[in-house]
Every structure is written in C-alpha cells, then in structure tokens.
Amino acid sequence: MAICRKNSEKVNQEKTYLNKPAVILESTIITHGMPYPTNVEVALAVEEEVRKQGAIPLTTAFIKGELKVGLTKEEIEYLGKAKGVVKASRRDIGYVVANKLDASTTVACTMIIAKKFGIKVFATGGIGGVHRDGENTMDISADLEEFSKSNVNVICAGPKAILDVGRTLEYLETKGIAVIGYQTDTVPLFYTRESEYKCEQTASSVENLAQIIKCNDEFGLNQGSLILNPIPFEDSLEPQVMNKAIDEALVEMNKKGINGKEVTPFLLSKVVDLTKGKSLESNISLIKNNARLAGKLAVELCKK
Ligand code: PSU
Ligand code: MN
C-alpha cells in the first residue's frame, strides 16, 4: 500500500498545465495500435506536429508502475518495442501502479491523467465505442463513460467503422456529451470523411471551437467534449473497401472467440492486413492531422 501512497504523492506534486498550451497524447496506439518501428516513428512525428503549433506534447504511460506525463524519446522507443505491456483503462490504474507494471493508456485512462494535470486538449486517432452487436455482448468502451467524468476535449477522426456508430453516438447523447464536427456537417468515420450520420454541432474555425469549450466550462458543465476532425481528403479510403475489410475481420474475430479488451487491437491489426497496409497510411495521416488541430486549439484556449 505504501507504494501507492508514495506514487500518488509524487503525482500530486507535479506541476499543473493549467493555462499552458499542452496537448496530451495516449500510448495504446503505440503498444496495441501499430507495429514496431512505425509506432515509434508516428508517436514522435505526432509530438512534432503539436510542437509546430507552439504547443507542448505530452505522451502518457506507466513505466514500471510510475506515471509518466510526457515520455522521453527513449521511453517511447522502450514502449514501442516492449512485449506484454498492459493496455490500461480506468479500472487498471491501481493494479498497474501497485504491481509496478508497464502500461499504455487508453483514451479513458489518458483523460483521467489529463484532468489531474489540468490539460484541456487531447489528440488521438480513434476512440472506443459501442461495438457491433453491443446490445448483446455489452461491449461498450469505458472511453465513452469517461467523457462525463473528466473535463477534457478529445480530438479524433470519428468513431471507427469497426464500431456500431449509431449506438456510439446515441450513448454520447444520453451522457450529454458535446460531439462537435470540425468543419464538417456529417460524422467522419475515421478512414472516411463523410457518413449518413449528421453532426448536430459544427465548428467553423479553431476560434469557434475554443468559444464553445469555454462556454461549456463557464456554464459549469464540468465534462469533456468530442471533436470530430475528418481525415485529409488525399488519405481517405473508399467506404466499400473499408467495409469489406471490417466485415471479414469481424467474421474472423467471432470464429476465434476474441472478446474483452482484445477486441479493438485485434480488429485494428486485421484491418491493416486486409487492406495491405493502406489503412495504416491513413491512420498515420489522420493522427498527425488531429495533432495539428489539437496544438492550435490548446494555443487558442490559452488566449484570454
Ligand atoms: N480505436 C482506434 N484506434 C485505437 C484505439 C481505438 O481506432 O488505437 C484504442 C484507443 O486507445 C482506445 C482504445 O481508447 O483502443 C479502446 O479500447 P476498448 O474498446 O477496449 O475500450
Ligand atoms: Mn470493450
């Protein structure tokens, strides 16, 4: 127990990033989302995109149970190569710290850390959501629940089409979470820019986005928002190609009986195989694009 107390004291002493243009970045994408060495190259490139906007990139993870807010290049390299790293969500934090484990952070876990350190902006690729057939399996990512607990603004490229997009959006609506399309009227679906789902809220500019966030905060809503930033046109994929790959991946997943926290990593890597790496290229492009917007937003939010 002493280990936990000591660690949390240390965490509380860390400087806060309130009123600083900081962008937090998750690490599950490094350990469970992309193969080595691409994962490391992309993590470093994403940090660079944030810096170019005048903001501070902070990639988070637990190394041997110790929380790191802002990994060094060496630590990113270490995580990128390491085997058996825990994919940590909200429920896993105490377990990882107490047992001094290496763990990457999911969107939910990264939001908790961001809140603790006063970081308002978070860039990622995709978030977890309600899985297809979720009405039977009850597979709903803890990411969705976190938006009503942690006041952090998450920029992603939309719910990935491996999910039940309609139910994911319904879930967020029930929780009262602002889902804001950035310069788009329809919900982007990660690899594709448009969909049949309408965005109820659209922001025309970074200034507009910052205003919405500030107004929610001033109103005391005290919860996160989800910003949908469509993949750059030149790197988007054909919906037909993607849907075919996803359908095949789902069939194989069910055949293999994969469930729980393995579902998302399995589907992500299977889709990369089935599209012969094309989806990986798109993934890289959209993450960098999200990092750019996050950097701009973090700078904008610091303006009085
Ligand atoms: N979706 C993606 N790419 C990812 C993830 C989701 O398109 O890398 C990762 C994120 O870290 C997210 C996590 O928080 O998977 C969700 O996992 P689960 O569905 O088990 O909650
Ligand atoms: Mn799940």
pLDDT in tens, 56-86: 999 999 999 999 999 999 999 999 999 999 9
Class of domain 2-301: alpha beta
- Over residues 8-64, the pLDDT tens digits come to 445 545 558 999 999 999 999 999 999 999 999 999 999 999 999 999 999 999 999
Residues with CB under 6 A from ligand 1: 26, 28-29, 33, 89, 106-107, 125-128, 141-143, 160, 261, 264, 268
Provide the residues around ligand 2 (an ion) whose CB is within 5 A.
Answer: 139
Tokens matching residue 127:
């978030």
Which residues are CB-neighbours of 266 under 8 A, at least 6 positions away? 249, 253, 256, 258
For residues 174 and 17, what is the distance between their CA atoms, to the nearest angstrom? 30
DSSP reduced 3-state for 16? coil
Closest CA to 264 of 153, 105, 139: 139
H-helix or E-strand containing 245? Answer: helix 239-256
At 256 the pLDDT is 97
Active-site hit among 160, 261, 270, 296: 160
At 178 the pLDDT is 98
Q: Where do the domains of the chain lie? A: 2-301
Q: Which of 145, 258, 264, 266 to mutate to test the pocket of ligand 1 (most atoms within 8 A of CB)?
A: 264
Q: How far is CA 151 from CA 65, 95, 102, 106, 304, in A?
A: 25, 24, 26, 16, 19
At 161 the pLDDT is 87
What φ, ψ does residue 149 adopt, rounded to 5°?
-105, -30
Average pLDDT across each block of 10 residues of the chain; the chain has 304 residues. List them in order.
46 73 97 95 98 98 97 98 97 98 98 97 97 95 98 97 96 98 97 95 98 98 98 95 93 96 94 92 97 98 93
pTM (two decimals): 0.95
For residues 96 and 229, what is the distance between their CA atoms, to the nearest angstrom? 32
Q: Answer yes or no: 47 catalytic.
A: no
Q: Answer yes or no: 14 catalytic.
A: no
At 304 the pLDDT is 81
- The residue whose CA has the least distance to atom 16 of ligand 1 is 128
